[in-house]
Amino acid sequence: MRVLGLNAVFHDSAAAVVVDGRIAAAAEEERFSRRKHGKRPVPFSTWELPEQAIAWCLAEAGLEPSDLDAVAYSYDPRLVDPASGGLDPGWEHLRTTYAERAPYFLRTLLPTYDPETFHFVRHHVAHAASAGLVAPFGDCAVLVADGRGEATSSLLGEYRDAKLDILAAQSLPHSLGLLYEDLTAHLGFARSSDEYKVMALASYGTPRHLPLLRGLVHAEGGGFRTEPLDWNALAPSRTPDGEFLDAHADLAAIVQAALEEVLLELCGWLWDRTQNPNLVLAGGTALNCVANTRLFAESPFTQLWPQPAAGDSGTALGAALTVAAEAGDRIEPMTSAALGRGFDDEAIEAVLRTARVRYERPDDLPDAVAAIIADNGIVAWFTGRAEYGPRALGYRSLLAHPSRADNVERLNDIKGREQFRPVAPMVLAERRPRSSPAVRCPVRTCCSFTMSHRNGETACRRSPTSTARLGSRPSTTRPTRRSRRCCGPSRLAPASRWW
Ligand SMILES: [Fe+2]
């Protein structure tokens, strides 16, 4: 079965193609339009479809629109409850109307596709499928914690033989994701965009008011409560270019801590009902790698797999997988996040020539890169297909010497980021530290605990001095021939915005 999956309702618009249970392509629209998150998550942008991502995914899979057996859309407007708390009654109907018309909007893009093949997939079922159907183990428990779907903000369930049993779902307006979004806006960052900055800022704070927050944000059975919070009583609101106060970091710290506590409680509830050692995560909060680390270290589950595209972009894949599985296709595991667009040698060389960038092709690329890093240079690493999801997982990255403390500042300057933002040490898998129980890597290429450097020592803990997520790769990983050609000798490659 050939299925095109779409995410277009909120943000991180994306497309994916699944052919006979195998993921052929998946990519966010932002990677083509260069517009971060594809579009703003407002009702009057719901009609916008990920045009370029759709075109690329179909081309990558070698399909014409008329070849499609199904189109899967990761939102079901029939499930929207206008009476749900937390929805804006003045605008929500517009989002619903646009979603209902999506099959026909798509027809304007793909005139030869058949709207009769269009399927609406419940948003959190799409999130769940994006992880549960492709994780590197079979049956599993699934935890989706999100901002919002049609009328809920979470889903707890279990996959058995590729069939999802939904055990619990939290109704709006209670939402861990929306709580975090509100805090993001209060701290002067972009709502539905910069939540990862809050996660980083939290490591600098002290959770002084956590007991107060626990009274408002806490787990309750397979759900939770997120009561309205007077943010200004805890820290003044910050403008986007305003100064960071200790109170801002403290506020981020208590919400981060509360989030982790609620997720741990949900994991305990899910474990009690499933007794399944495998847990998969999806939904926007599954991008919170600090929380994921606690779930891996402290929850009863022994294996954990977060979908790399845990945010809404991953629902394009999850919707397609859901329809394919329901049709009887056997779904193949997702073995890599490198599902996006790649470039062949000729295309890269043509760009370098046009830009008049001096380049060469080292005979031994690893040696050349190692020499640059040892000399405290910075390497822009570009290899293979782009990652699906927001995290750099080894295909679009900056590499620098990890033992030089000032390299964190250099990297953040190059990327135009706040200086509290973390970097990720990379180590060979067989050399990764094993002494601390916190140092266990839930996924091979993206680990999620924080490391700090202080007084010449490296420790696995949260610290205001510098933080990082550890990544590891097996020593057998070698650059492909394509990558050998696309990494130039420049000590400081032209800064781009891939990462
Ligand atoms: Fe979502």
Hey, what's the torsion of the CAs at 475, 476, 477, 482, to 10 degrees?
140
Cα 440 to ligand 1 centroid, rounded to whole Å: 28
Give residue 411's identity as a one-letter amino acid code.
L
Q: Is residue 413 within 8 Å of residue 357, measured between CB atoms?
A: no
Q: Is residue 147 within 8 Å of residue 311, measured between CB atoms?
A: no
Q: What is the pLDDT of residues 456-480, one digit of tens each?
A: 333 333 333 333 445 544 444 433 3
CA dist 64 and 62 (Å) reads: 7
Instruction: Characterize the bridge pairing of strands 452-454 and 457-459.
Output: antiparallel
Only one residue has tokens 């005979």, namely 363
Q: Is residue 261 within 8 Å of residue 214, measured between CB atoms?
A: yes
Cα dihedral across residues 271, 274, 278, 279: positive or negative: negative
CA dist 395 and 23 (Å) reads: 18
Only one residue has tokens 């075109």, namely 55
Residue 414, C-beta contacts closer than 8 angstroms, at least 6 positions apart: 378, 398, 492, 495
pLDDT of residue 98: 94
Q: Is residue 449 within 8 Å of residue 470, measured between CB atoms?
A: yes
∠ CA 323-285-428, rounded to 5°: 95
Report the Cα–Cα distance between both ends of the chain, in Å, rounded.
33
DSSP reduced 3-state for 357? coil
CA dist 337 and 308 (Å) reads: 7
Instruction: Characterize the bridge pairing of strands 217-220 and 163-168.
Output: unpaired
Could you list the mean pLDDT of each consecutive 10-residue stretch along the chain, which spans 499 residues?
97 97 97 90 89 97 96 96 74 92 95 94 98 95 96 97 97 93 93 87 90 94 94 93 92 95 97 96 94 93 95 98 98 95 92 93 92 94 93 90 89 89 78 52 35 34 38 44 28 25
**Residue 391 token pair:** 């995290």
Cα 284 to ligand 1 centroid, rounded to whole Å: 6
CA dist 49 and 4 (Å) reads: 13
- 345-486 homologous superfamily: Carbamoyltransferase, C-terminal domain (3.90.870.20)
Cα 95 to ligand 1 centroid, rounded to whole Å: 15
Calculate the alpha carbon distances from 243 to 305, 390, 418, 434 in Å. Answer: 37, 27, 12, 39
Cα 175 to ligand 1 centroid, rounded to whole Å: 11
Query: Where in the chain is CATH 3.30.420.40?
Result: 2-129+311-326, 176-306
What H or E segment, with its residue span, contains residue 267? helix 246-274
Question: What's the predicted TM-score (pTM) here?
Answer: 0.86
Cα 171 to ligand 1 centroid, rounded to whole Å: 14
* 2-129+311-326 fold: Nucleotidyltransferase; domain 5 (3.30.420)
Query: Taking every pair of C-alpha atoms in the chain, what is the biggest distance, in angstroms?
Result: 65
Burial class of residue 31 (count of CB atoms within 10 Å of its CB; 0-12, 13-18, 19+): buried
Of 367, 363, 358, 400, which Cα lies nearest the Cα of 381? Answer: 400
Q: What is the pLDDT of residues 357-393, one digit of tens each?
A: 999 999 999 899 999 999 999 999 999 999 999 988 8
DSSP reduced 3-state for 94? helix
Burial class of residue 435 (count of CB atoms within 10 Å of its CB; 0-12, 13-18, 19+): exposed
pLDDT of residue 471: 53
pLDDT of residue 146: 95
Residue 23, C-beta contacts closer than 8 angstroms, at least 6 positions apart: 16, 17, 134, 317, 332, 334, 339
pLDDT of residue 434: 58
∠ CA 416-419-421, rounded to 5°: 90
Cα 18 to ligand 1 centroid, rounded to whole Å: 20
Cα 125 to ligand 1 centroid, rounded to whole Å: 10
Q: Which residues pair with 23 in a beta bridge?
A: 18
Burial class of residue 496 (count of CB atoms within 10 Å of its CB; 0-12, 13-18, 19+): exposed
pLDDT of residue 433: 62
Cα 389 to ligand 1 centroid, rounded to whole Å: 13
Cα dihedral across residues 219, 225, 226, 229: positive or negative: negative
Cα 126 to ligand 1 centroid, rounded to whole Å: 9
Of 10, 50, 46, 44, which Cα lies nearest the Cα of 28? Answer: 50
Instruction: Report, in this order, helix, strand and coil percent for the chain, each rounded to 5.
Output: 35, 20, 45
Q: Within a 13 Å sphere around the CA of 273, how many CA atoms are in the beta-carbon half?
A: 18
Cα 130 to ligand 1 centroid, rounded to whole Å: 11
pLDDT of residue 432: 67
Burial class of residue 35 (count of CB atoms within 10 Å of its CB; 0-12, 13-18, 19+): exposed
pLDDT of residue 420: 82
Question: Is 119 marked active-site?
Answer: no
DSSP reduced 3-state for 477? coil
Cα 178 to ligand 1 centroid, rounded to whole Å: 11
* 176-306 fold: Nucleotidyltransferase; domain 5 (3.30.420)
Residue 180, C-beta contacts closer than 8 angstroms, at least 6 positions apart: 195, 198, 255, 259, 284, 285, 288
pLDDT of residue 174: 95
H helix count then E strand count, the chain:
15, 18
pLDDT of residue 339: 97
Q: Of residues 11, 123, 127, 248, which has the active-site annotation?
A: 11
Cα 417 to ligand 1 centroid, rounded to whole Å: 25
